[in-house]
Amino acid sequence: MPQHPQDEISQKVLSFYKELPFNARDSVSAAAEHVRMHDPVGSYPPLRGRVKRKRILEVGCGVGWFSNGLAFHHNARVTGIDFNPVAIERAEATARALKLTSRFSVQNLFEYSPPERFSLVVSLGVLHHTSDCEGAVRRICKHFLDERGTVVIGLYHTFGRKPFLEHFRTLQKSGASEDELLKEYGRLHNLSDDATHLRSWFRDQVLHPHETQHTYAELRSIIESEGLRISSTSLNRFNPITSHEEIEIQELQCKQVSLNAISEGRYYPGFFVVVAER
């Protein structure tokens, strides 16, 4: 009996991440040191004051840098789920090295039924790799979030992402090898001296077997239909939102931002984040 297309996508993505999980580092000690040195809230200002001692779920936690970071720096009660057992094993090992109480579990988000609802649910750079991004967003809002909860979702952006992908597709069509593509990625994204970490990012960004891209307008429509309102977005640098329509006009400029970054030799992933509340 042939596999359902959604099952095929999930298996391809799982196999891809089993080979080398995203954000993986050479060792547990290197991962633990990164957690000690980097508070995730610094990258997401709307989370300030929202994480300490809160019940938090990270959907698609990977190797656990975000979950363990919240637990380490903010004493947050964090649960991380991911469908990749290789990533979960590393997340747990890092938590043990730091003596954290973070809890990790191998779960498919479309089947996961948490024993309790969470006051904060975070999913960054994950749902666009599922077979049903819209369904994933709706499931988070309906089944994971408590009645006064906050959700933070990060997705690839339709306009901002495509120039980056097209740049590497052009190189591939011209015959560039994987090592040459990695070198070009490293030129654009001066990320790390850790070779494993750099290659994990390169594979995730350039070689991924499945991803979709989305707009603010699209995500806003889904979230509002689930009874939440967007209170903040990276598209305006997390400044107060005075008009959703203005942001929807501004997001059209992300294509040019991406093209400029490539021409100037800079990394621009074409990624955006929204924060929404009941």
Mean pLDDT, contiguous 10-residue spans, the chain (278 residues): 67 98 97 97 92 92 98 96 98 98 97 95 98 98 96 98 98 98 97 93 98 98 98 96 96 97 97 96
* Residues 22 and 63: beta-carbon distance below 8 Å: yes
Say what the pLDDT of residue 1 is.
Answer: 39
- The end-to-end CA distance of the chain, in Å, is 43
What is residue 135's three-state secondary structure?
Answer: helix
Domain 5-157+212-243+270-277 in CATH 3.40.50.970? The answer is no
Among 81, 79, 73, 122, residue whose Cα is nearest residue 101:
79
d(CA 123, CA 101): 20
Say what the pLDDT of residue 193 is.
Answer: 84
Q: Phi-psi category of 34—alpha, beta or left, where left has phi over 0 and alpha has psi -120 to 50?
A: alpha
Each domain of the chain, given as residue ranges in start order, spans 5-157+212-243+270-277
Q: How many CB atoms lie within 10 A of CB 3?
A: 10
Say what the pLDDT of residue 177 is.
Answer: 98
d(CA 25, CA 149): 32
d(CA 260, CA 208): 23
